[in-house]
Chain A
Amino acid sequence: MSETIVIAEMNNNAIHPSTAELVAAAGALGSEPTLIVPCTDASAADGATSWNGISNIIAAKSSAFENYDAAGWASALDAVMPQGTIITGTSPQSKDLAARIAGHRGMPVVQDVVKIDGNQVTSPVYSGKAMQTVSLGGASVISVRSNVFSPVQEGGENNVSVVDTTGNIATSVQEFMERASKRLDVSEANIIISGGRGMGSPENFSHLEAVADTIGAAVGASRAAVDTWEAIPHSMQVGQTGKTVNPNLYIAVGISGAIQHLAGMRSSRYIVAINKDADAPIFKHADYGIVATWEEALPVLHNKLQTMME
């Protein structure tokens, strides 16, 4: 395999820990990558100086990285990245960037990779109902899902070269709108607890929120919940026409497990289902299935988690 480049996942001008998994993915493709850190302040790159498995780190410093603009980020990164196969994460922004950079460089892109074997990479297709393996015939851009590769460990010693770059920003920000809730969004969270129509009313989502706040989870919802109740916004919807999530733990409460809901969450590492109907399809996908009403199960769950987290 030719040269590989990992574009660090960023969060508030700091390297997101999942980047260490992307470095491991580059290793699986057969080379120690150049790690590119898009930043406004080069100290952001310090987070990776002690990682193993990296050939060198480039802190790509530019005011273009203040806010996300696909054209601006792709041009600013293109100017400082070597040629080769490029690896990104799979947050909505990272997948967008992956495709934009591939377009910029006239390369193909393969998204949502969950397995790497030589130059063959595998991704879910048809909402996870099938897997597709493709062979990369040349330099490509791939986005790699989190919780697939074990992160590289500490113990290395990498130098950071700081390179100033500029991007052609196309869009302009009119306004930032705060999220109504302080909780994580389902697309960012490593634990998600979601409610469906079985919750009975939007007020009852407060029981899910209580559990979420105990374990640092995000609260999600099925489409039936979003469509039925005004108070449950579409931003919470998981599934085919909502968000695709890939957390370590997904807790489905009062959700039947329709194929379109599964499409958005079936690749979660662990799935817990609470449903009063023992025949609900969600149980076929659950690692831990509890046949009970949420009225019975959630208070017990909440209490236990509170004791465990103390």
Chain B
Amino acid sequence: MPNIIVLVKQVPDTNAKILVSGESVDLSAVKMVMSPYDEFALETALQHKEAAGGEVTALTVGGPGAEKILKDAKAMGVDHIVRVETSSSMDTNALQTVLKQAITNLGAEVVYCGKSAADTGAGSTGPGVAARLGWASASNITAATFDGGVSVMTPGNGGNVKLSVPLPAVISCDKGNLKVRKANIKGIMQAKKATVDVHTIESPISTVTVVNQSLPPAKPAGKSYQGGDAAAEVAQLLRDEANLL
């Protein structure tokens, strides 16, 4: 029966307005939530357990504030919740080295994560952690079935590809047709009482460091037209002014 780990990350609510004060983003007034794609990873992990048995551990790296999303994961049905304490901001090499160590310590046959986090949008964690573990990886999957290994659907070759992924593996999840389960009352009660396992792991030095954060440059106001007939003029401008088409 597989030990299943799902990586979850706390990010600003995607509806939130992002403010910059001085040289960095100010998130003090922003509601924090589980990154949306991580919910698909969590759902896939729980379905894997339902099909093959085993246990699911939700793992996050972050400060004590990040425990809220672990409780949310617990309410949805994971067995264990683990937070790795962070000291400072880490580049992807430092973060993924920490995750590799945490996964090795916990022991797992399969790790699920979101295809990208809503804050960075990078999508580096799944394939990067897999490489550091020396495991197989499949990314941006839109469906999974469980049969000893895992079979996944992923975009590729101008269509979709059905892949057999041998375990151990790290699999990053896109939305697909998944409906993410809602926590029930029993789950919410259990989550309230659950304790978060806190681990500390030494991280290597980060060589990529943040210089500053800023608002995107404002786009100059566009041209505005009334009525459908203007579409002809706009088409012409797309060629003459924008050099497109």
Contact = CB atoms under 8 A, between A and B. Distances in A.
A301 interface: yes
Contacts of B92: 99, 102, 108-110
Contacts of A285: 219, 222
Interface in B111-132: 118-132
B123 A308 contact: no
A125 interface: yes
Contacts of A128: 216
Given A259-B15, A300-B232, A178 B159 contact: yes
Contact of B236 (A125, A283, A308): A308
Most buried by B among A125, A171, A296, A301: A171
B52 interface: no
A151 to B, nearest CB: 15
Interface residues of B, number: 87
Contacts of A98: 124
Nearest to B153: A177
Contacts of A97: 127
A137 B14 contact: no
B29 interface: no
B18 to A, nearest CB: 4
B124 A111 contact: yes
The secondary-structure label for the interface of chain A is: mixed
A301 B234 contact: yes
A92 B223 CA distance: 33
A65 B191 CA distance: 46
A288 interface: yes
B234 A288 contact: yes
B245 interface: yes
A291 B124 contact: no
Interface in B140-158: 140, 142, 151, 153, 155-158
A215 B245 contact: yes
A241 B118 CA distance: 9
Nearest to A174: B162
Nearest 10 CB-CB pairings of A with B: A103-B131, A296-B228, A170-B136, A137-B207, A99-B124, A297-B228, A301-B231, A103-B128, A129-B18, A292-B228
Interface of A: 67-68, 70-71, 74, 92-93, 95-104, 106-112, 120, 123-138, 140, 170-179, 185, 187-188, 191, 215, 234-235, 237, 240-242, 244, 248-249, 259-260, 263, 269-272, 274, 283, 285-293, 295-301, 303-305, 308-309
25 contacts: A74-B131, A92-B139, A93-B156, A95-B124, A96-B123, A96-B126, A100-B137, A102-B131, A120-B211, A126-B118, A126-B119, A130-B25, A133-B214, A135-B208, A170-B135, A174-B164, A240-B118, A249-B238, A260-B15, A287-B223, A290-B225, A295-B228, A296-B228, A300-B229, A301-B231
